[in-house]
Amino acid sequence: SSKIRNLEVQSADDVAVLEDCIGFSLAKTISKIEEKLERGGLPDCLDDDIIPSLGNEIGAEAQIRFLKAKLRVMQEELDSIVCECRKKDDENQTLKSQLKGTEEENTRLQRTVSMQHSQTEKYKMLSQEANRKSEELQQEVIALEKVLW
């Protein structure tokens, strides 16, 4: 799990990461809680949603079993979220590569449009020149016809 976390921290260059969460270790947290339990019993904050209201009526062993079960559930949820994050990262990478391909194609198409636009302008100028020559030749034909009559 620490290797996975390190990989995720390294790959999250453009994501805000809280400094407090970088050194977080679930195993260390569990061992700290177990040490506190062994030394002086359970902490005073048990009524803050960790153990239901029956927490004061059950024994320390049952509370430890409950906390361990809750910890397992939370670990499974964490694993599920990590898996989901990996899937999202894969999807992001796929979308990034698609975006890059689309941008490259867009650039290529813009170049093509620019070339076609310049060719259109060239052919317009050639057409105008041909029309002007045609009018000159028609004027010359009319002048020659007048001379011949």
| Residue range 90-138, pLDDT digits in tens | 999 999 999 999 999 999 999 999 999 999 999 999 999 999 999 999 9
Domain-embedded: residue 121: yes
Domain-embedded: residue 103: yes
Q: How many CB atoms lie within 10 A of CB 79?
A: 12
* Cα–Cα distance for residue pair 39/68, rounded to 1 Å: 18
Domain-embedded: residue 8: no
pLDDT of residue 32: 75
Q: Work out how many domains the chain is built from and give that number.
A: 1
pTM score above 0.75: no
* Cα–Cα distance for residue pair 85/79, rounded to 1 Å: 10
The Cα-based distances of 142 to 59, 135, 138 in angstroms read 120, 10, 6
- Domain extent at residue 71: 63-148
Domain-embedded: residue 105: yes
User: If you write DSSP's letter for every residue of 14-41 in order, what string do you get?
Assistant: TS---HHHHT--HHHHHHHHHHHHHHHS
Mean pLDDT score across all residues of the chain: 79
Domain-embedded: residue 144: yes
pLDDT of residue 149: 81
Domain-embedded: residue 32: no
Domain-embedded: residue 51: no
